[in-house]
A and B are shown apart, each in its own frame.
Chain A
């Protein structure tokens, strides 16, 4: 089983719709979780950190489910500018300050006008 698994998509979603992605992980010792956004041929950029209590930033909501070992990203009222690849990432262990992140392969999202 891969350490981190994401549905590669593509997800083709009409503008204004709500879309959700999941990312499952196998390392129960992981402590830090993140969602990154990567535009075509660019570097990944941090979108959100993911906390146990869940967190929201505008139209974006991230959740962590430790029992089932997955994180999720929900995008509401999707915009054309949300079209990108979304990568999940998590720490390899529990040692804060020595973070080695493992990345998923990414989920490609295209918002259709």
Chain B
């Protein structure tokens, strides 16, 4: 079955550590996105990529980095510069046709310990 796989489901980070969240899709979608959701909040865009080897900053890119070396993969690194990283991270991909919306992965819950 086609879909988006995020791993790990839960992740714990110590202060000062970098951690990388994985996002893989086999939907053959060109565009991929990373969002962050805080409790009781909507989704805020961190980074997005519309094509391999290219990506753009979203609204809250500071303290995060991404790469897009393959169409299927869009990993997100949460760096030590991100001062409040505890959140629910959602990866999505998009087919490129307006009325089909995004497909989301099941998310990664990151907690700073």
Interface residues, chain A, with chain B CB atoms under 8 Å away:
4, 6, 8, 31-32, 34, 36, 41-46, 49, 51, 87, 89, 91, 96-106
Contact = CB atoms under 8 A, between A and B. Distances in A.
A49 B99 CA distance: 6
B98 A103 contact: no
29 contacts: A4-B42, A31-B98, A32-B98, A32-B99, A36-B101, A41-B88, A43-B90, A44-B43, A44-B104, A49-B99, A49-B100, A87-B43, A89-B102, A96-B96, A96-B98, A98-B31, A99-B94, A99-B96, A100-B33, A100-B45, A100-B48, A101-B33, A101-B102, A102-B45, A103-B42, A103-B43, A104-B42, A105-B41, A105-B42
Range of interface residues on B (Cβ < 8 Å) = 20 to 34
